[in-house]
């Protein structure tokens, strides 16, 4: 079992052996994916191991997807914050021009949409509107509501990150 198969299978024992044996954690397969891309399909423990082994959290793989795109597309809400905390680019765009936020909104994953918005993913109004369009086209009303609420937060709260300012209803976008 190679490093990619171990990561995809969630086999931490084999993955750790590869890491300890000096296998390059940033090696790519024939599709351009790294072990981290595969670990993001469902293995939180493998993602942790790879990040600890200094895996690049922003490699561009098949169809220009990053590991964060993979986590967003598969609903891996526990994995997305790990990647973000390790420095994943929340604004990266894939072949389709979609960010992880648009990917999550398109599949109706409200939890990941919230995680990404909290990290200021696609802080630009037009990018959030694109995510709203993706959610709307597929009938994902919960995601649409979260994105709309995010756009309507008071300007001062967004700028300062100060939750106490949320009571200032007079200053709205």
Residue 13 lies in a domain: yes
pLDDT at residue number 133: 86
Q: Residue 43 falls within a domain, yes or no?
A: yes
Q: Using pLDDT thresholds of 50, 70 and 90, give the confidence band for residue 170.
A: very low
Tell me if the pTM is above 0.75: yes
Residue 131 φ then ψ, to 5°: -65, -40
Task: For residue 75, give the CATH number of its domain.
Answer: 1.25.40.20
Kindly state whether residue 7 falls inside one of the protein's structural domains: yes
Average pLDDT estimate for 148-172: 58
Range of the domain at 19: 3-123
Nearest CA to 58 out of 99, 88, 20, 22 is that of: 88
Asked whether residue 49 is domain-assigned, the answer is yes
44-52 vs 12-20: helix axis angle to the nearest 10? 10
Distance between CA atoms of residues 113 and 70, nearest Å:
14
* 134: helix, strand or coil: helix
Cα gap 24→34, rounded to integer Å: 10
* Range from 123-127, 157-161, 162-166 that averages highest in pLDDT: 123-127
pLDDT value of position 134: 84
Q: How far is CA 149 from the centre of its chain?
A: 20
Span 58-89, pLDDT tens digits:
999 999 999 999 999 999 999 999 999 999 99
Tally of structural domains, the chain: 1
Residue 150 lies in a domain: no
- pLDDT of 171 over the 50 cut: no
Inside any domain, residue 170 = no
């Amino acid at each position: 079992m190679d490093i990619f198969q171990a990561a995809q299978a969630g086999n931490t024992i084999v993955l750790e052996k590869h890491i300890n044996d000096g296998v390059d954690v940033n090696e790519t397969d024939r599709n351009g994916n790294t072990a981290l891309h595969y670990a993001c399909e469902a293995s939180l423990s493998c993602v942790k191991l790879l990040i600890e082994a200094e895996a690049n959290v922003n490699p561009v793989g098949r169809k220009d997807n990053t590991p964060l795109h993979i986590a967003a597309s598969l609903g891996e809400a526990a994995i997305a914050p790990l990647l973000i905390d390790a420095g994943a680019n929340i604004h990266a765009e894939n072949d389709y021009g979609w960010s992880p936020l648009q990917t999550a909104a398109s599949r109706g994953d409200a939890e990941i949409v919230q995680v990404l918005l909290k990290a200021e993913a696609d802080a630009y109004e037009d990018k959030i509107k694109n995510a709203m369009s993706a959610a709307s086209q597929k009938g994902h009303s919960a995601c649409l509501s979260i994105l709309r609420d995010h756009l309507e937060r008071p300007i001062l709260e967004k700028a300062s990150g100060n939750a106490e300012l949320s009571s200032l209803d007079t200053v709205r976008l």
